[in-house]
Structure 1
C-alpha cells in the first residue's frame, strides 16, 4: 500500500513537468475534494518551486477547483452518503459526527479545509447531514483558499529557498492557523453572547415599574 501511494505521488509530481501542469493541478484539486487520496499540495508546491512568479495563479486555480470538487462531494453525500457512511462507519460514530456539525455548522468544513484532515470526509458528510450549501461553499473557499494561498504566498515572496521549509512545516503551520481560527471564532461568539446578555440586562433595568 505504501509503495502504491509513493508511486501515485511520483506520478502526480511528474505532471509538473508537462505542458498540462495547470490543468492537472485543477483536476487533482477537484478529485481530492471528494475521492482522490493525494492532496493537491504535492503538485502545487512543485509548481511553485519551478515558477514562483506564478504561485498566486496556481493557488487560485487550486482553490477554485477544490471548492468545485467540494460541491461535488457534497452532492455525493446528499444523495448517497448516508448508505456509504452506514456501510463503513458505525452508527455511534455517525451520530458523533452529526452532533459535531450541529455544534460547529459549516465552520467545521472551513477549518478542515485548511488543516491536513482529509477534506473529502467533510465534504461528503456535509452533504449527508444537509448543511446549508451556500454557507458550505463560503467555508470551503475560506478554508481551502487560506491553505493554498499560504503556500503560494511563501513562494511568491521568498522564492525557491523557502521550499524545504514549506515541505517540512506546512502541516504544522496549517494546524497552528486553524487553532488561531477556532480561538477567534470562540472569542467572537463569547463577545456576542456577552453583549447580548448586557443588552438584555440593560433593558430589564430600564423597564418601568407597573
Structure 2
C-alpha cells in the first residue's frame, strides 16, 4: 500500500495542478497522511527551479495549517477521529508511549524534531500536542520554525546544487536531519539530567 501511495504522490509532480497538490499533501501529511511532502516537493523543484522558493513557502504554510488541524483533532476529537487515524497507520502504540512520558518542553522538542526530520512522525506529535493542550500559538511558532527550516533547506540545496544534489536529498537528507535531531535530543536529555 505504501509503495502505491508513494508512486501516486510522485505522479502529482508532473501535473499542471502540482502546486495545489503540494499544498494538499503538505497539509494532510501533518495530521493524517503517510507520505511526506518532500516526495512531491523535490521533483517539482527540479522541474521548475525558478519556483523552488515559492514551493518551499507553499509547503511550509500548508504543513503548518495541517499541523494545526492535527492539534484540533487531538484537542477536540481524539477518540472519534484521531485515534482511528493513528490505529490505521499503526502509530497508536508510538502515540501512547509518547503521551505517557511527555511534558511541555518534551513536546516542543518533538515538534521541532518531527517537523524537521519526521522523528517521530509529525502526525503523531501534532495530535499529541492537542491532547496535551499545548498552547496553540506556541505550537504554531514551533511548527513554522521546524517545517520552514526543512523546506527552506531543501529549496536552498536544490537551487544551489541542482541535479547533482538529487541523490543526496533522496538518500541522505533524512539521515542527516535525523542525526541533527539526535544531537538535539541528546543535548535536551543531558540538560534535563543536569538540571535535576
Q: TM-score, structure 2 length as denominator?
A: 0.83
Is structure 2 residue 177 aligned with structure 1 residue 174?
Answer: yes
Q: CA offsets per residue over residues 172-206 of structure 1, 9 Å max, x none?
A: 11112223444666798899x7xxxxxxxxxxxxx
Contact 2:107 2:125 in 1 (8 A): no
| Number of equivalent positions | 188
Is structure 2 residue 68 aligned with structure 1 residue 71?
Answer: yes
Contact 1:34 1:123 in 2 (8 A): yes
1:128/1:114 CA distance change after superposition, 3 Å: same
- Alpha-carbon distance in 2 for matches of 1:150, 1:71: 22
Q: Which moved more, 1:158-167 or 1:170-179?
A: 170-179
1:157 alignment partner, one of 160, 170, 187: 160
Q: CA offsets per residue over residues 110-147 of structure 1, 9 Å max, x none?
A: 22111133110110111011111100011111111111
Is structure 2 residue 109 aligned with structure 1 residue 112?
Answer: no
Equivalences for 1:98-137 in 2 at 5 Å?
A: 98-117=100-119, 118-137=121-140
Is structure 2 residue 44 aligned with structure 1 residue 47?
Answer: yes
Task: State the structure with more CA Rg.
Answer: 1
Q: SS where residue 159 of structure 1 aligns?
A: helix
1:55/1:133 CA distance change after superposition, 3 Å: same
- Alpha-carbon distance in 2 for matches of 1:162, 1:151: 10
1:26 alignment partner, one of 23, 43, 46: 23
Is structure 2 residue 151 aligned with structure 1 residue 148?
Answer: yes
User: Gaps (5+ residues) in structure 2?
Assistant: none
Equivalences for 1:9-20 in 2 at 5 Å?
A: 9-20=6-17
Q: SS where residue 102 of structure 2 aligns?
A: helix
Q: Which moved more, 1:173-182 or 1:36-45?
A: 173-182
- Alpha-carbon distance in 2 for matches of 1:103, 1:151: 27
Q: TM-score, structure 1 length as denominator?
A: 0.78
1:180/1:60 CA distance change after superposition, 3 Å: farther
| RMSD of aligned residue pairs (Cα, Å) | 2.7
Instruction: Tell me how far 1:7 sits from its aligned partner.
Output: 1.8
- Alpha-carbon distance in 1 for matches of 2:135, 2:9: 33
